[in-house]
Amino acid sequence: MTGEQSAGAPAPQLAKAGLEAVAGHAGEEVPSYARAFKAVVNVEVKPVATVPRTAPGALQEADRLWREHARAAGVIDGEGCFLVRGADRDWVRVRGTAHTALSAALVPGAGSMVIAMSPDGRRLCALTEEDDDYWIVVHHFEDGPV
């Protein structure tokens, strides 16, 4: 990850994920992080994929599934870019690299998550740690930002 300015950098736990911060910022049409969080963390959420945390290669498989579903849902744009939570708590535009592994940002045993938002703010794909599994959650926002 490049760190040209701290305000335009991903949150500290994402520094290990192999993301490259790129110029540009989220527009006004992007839902707040709080709204994205609520879309991922609620009793009605159903994952599109799960990986048992004890399975051999679980983190690599979780990363592979996240990339697959993020691409299919249109979260990653044609330049390989998407939004993540920034150090200043706003969305930051990043690009995946050959070394990107969102699972590196998870804190084992803490029920942590990484939420990636499409640059247009309409879709998200999250990698979460839920009890004994890693979940891949995809959500489409039907209305504008809140």
User: What local confidence, expressed as pLDDT, does residue 25 receive?
Assistant: 64
Structurally, the chain folds into a number of domains equal to 1
Residue 11 lies in domain: 7-140
Q: Is the pLDDT of residue 145 over 80?
A: no
Q: Is residue 1 part of a domain?
A: no
What is the per-residue DSSP string for 35-85? Answer: HHHHHHSSTT---SEEEETTSTTHHHHHHHHHHHHHHHTT-S-TTSEEEEE
pLDDT tens for 121-142 read 999 999 999 989 999 999 999 8
Q: How many CB atoms lie within 10 A of CB 98?
A: 5
Q: Is residue 19 part of a domain?
A: yes
On whether the CB atoms of residues 125 and 73 are closer than 8 A, the answer is yes
Tell if the pTM clears 0.85, that is, is over it: yes
| Single-letter amino acid, residue 59 | L
User: What local confidence, expressed as pLDDT, does residue 146 receive?
Assistant: 45
